[in-house]
Structure 1
């Protein structure tokens, strides 16, 4: 029996989600895409899970889509791989995952790997990582959100420079453009991502999720929609058990142990 193409591991309030097809440079076939969506669904549903950490087994994050497997599955309505209990990791179909996601990348990071970073909240790259958005060289377009998010993250000219040429770029360039938030020595990327995820998970989870949701609302629906949601969110959070825990920790100068209620 073959190993799962997505490995999940719980570490406290973190869910580690590992791409596990190293013999194919973690190229995503249909089975991997579906299992990844299921892992995001688990992260979204489980109240004990506060942050997801996406990483890859082997030397490379991903070589992109396995077009030989996925190509024939693109039908009149596009490509569907999210089951009833899954959540689209790229956030372009259906609801977006409501918990923060931190991504650690290394080696080769092509196409959907870049789009996973763009759909996530924080990204860490190993220093030798090489990136490329090569869909136009394969006769298709990026369909995991790069056309939407890459210009927003990196600026129009920077994004078009790479998504219209398919040219490769390195980790320093990814950092310059704001695609990744930290560049670390090779081999340290997962530990660095886990450290960031742990800091997020230590905060009040309802407040983290509300903050993330409001930021997403601002991007998707505009500032006015986000502004209108601020006060109702504040009122709801102020009545939570965690708000009382946070206030008590402030008054006693102690470390808050939030419960997510």
Structure 2
């Protein structure tokens, strides 16, 4: 029997049915870029869903043609950061979720948007999706754990190409590299991810939770010491003059002038 329940905050819609929750980012006018308020809304939604006994698997999707453009650079230029202290973007990129999380990607997933996907357990992507870490082109580095996760699962040269050029890769390339779990036709990522989540949610909740915990502790997750070192380096870059210039140039739609400091 299907039971469906919906809830809505300013930036997030949550739908629950048949032990599967779909969390949808609802800031398409800003390409679902993450400011602190949106990240906080997402963190609160995930906290609620992890605590609920009627939710066994979670899908993260997005409204509009862009999954997420990452950090809201205009908000960053005003001094705001989207990361939740000690938890990361959307409250989970540093600490993870106890329950299985599937990212459903239709369109570009860039910068922090790509890192949201990489911090999920599986990525279902449509053929029209694309992925990239363009932070270096803005005087920043990928601070949401994306570099750490890519380096654990993708060949060294491919990681360096993605991270140092800042250029996008298409869905097929991402699938070939093992980043994308399943490919689907354009416009069908949310549906395909929900079907995958449903196949997971049919299984025993305790077994699911502990299976994920074992995999994360052996091969999947990033340990706290590594993340702490990464955070220290990222903090220095985010405080740099180049970071300010990159954000300002983006907001003003001009080519940045780098100083190397």
Classify the TM-score, shorter chain: 0.7 to 0.9
Cα-Cα RMSD: 2.3
Quote how far apart the aligned CAs of 1:87 are: 7.2
Whether 1:5 aligns to 2:7 is no
For 1:161-180, list aligned pairs within 5 A: 161-180=161-180
| Alignment-derived partner of residue 149 in structure 2 | 149
- 2:158 counterpart of 1:158: yes
Asked whether the 8 Å contact 1:171–1:183 carries over to 2, the reply is yes
Alignment partner of 1:64 out of 60, 70, 80: 70
Query: Which structure 1 residue ranges, 4+ long, deviate > 6 Å from structure 2?
Result: none
Q: What is the aligned length?
A: 213
Structure 1 position 3, deviation (Å): 6.5
| Cα deviation digits, residues 96-126 of structure 1 (max 9, x gap) | 3100001110112101121112111111111
Q: Are 1:88 and 2:71 an aligned pair? A: no
Aligned residue in 2 for 1:31: 37
**What do the CA deviations read for 1:19-39 (whole angstroms, capped 9, x no partner)?**
101111111122111111111
The aligned runs of 1:238-249 (5 Å cut-off) are none
**Where does residue 73 of structure 1 map in the other structure?**
80
With the length of structure 2 as denominator, give the TM-score of the two structures. 0.76
Q: Given the superposition, is the C-alpha separation of residues 6 and 204 from structure 1 closer, same or farther in structure 2, using an over 3 Å criterion?
A: same
**Residue 259 of structure 1: aligned partner:** none
**Equivalent position of 2:237 in the other structure:** none
Q: Which has the larger radius of gyration?
A: 1
**Per-residue deviation, 1:70:** 3.4
1:189: Cα distance to partner? 0.9
- Cα deviation for residue 81 of structure 1 reads 2.6
Q: 212-221 or 43-52: which moved more?
A: 212-221
Q: Give me the TM-score of the superposition, normalised by structure 1.
A: 0.76
Give the superposition deviation at 1:51. 0.7
Where does the alignment leave 5 or more consecutive residues of structure 1 unmatched?
A: 223-261
Q: 1:87 to 1:68 in 2, by over 3 A?
A: closer
- The 8 Å contact of residues 14 and 51 in structure 1, kept in 2 or not, is answered as yes
| Structure 2: runs of 5+ lacking an equivalent | 1-7, 224-261
Relative to 1, partners in 2 of residues 1:117 and 1:87: Cα closer, same or farther, differing over 3 Å? closer
Corresponding residue SS for 1:164: helix
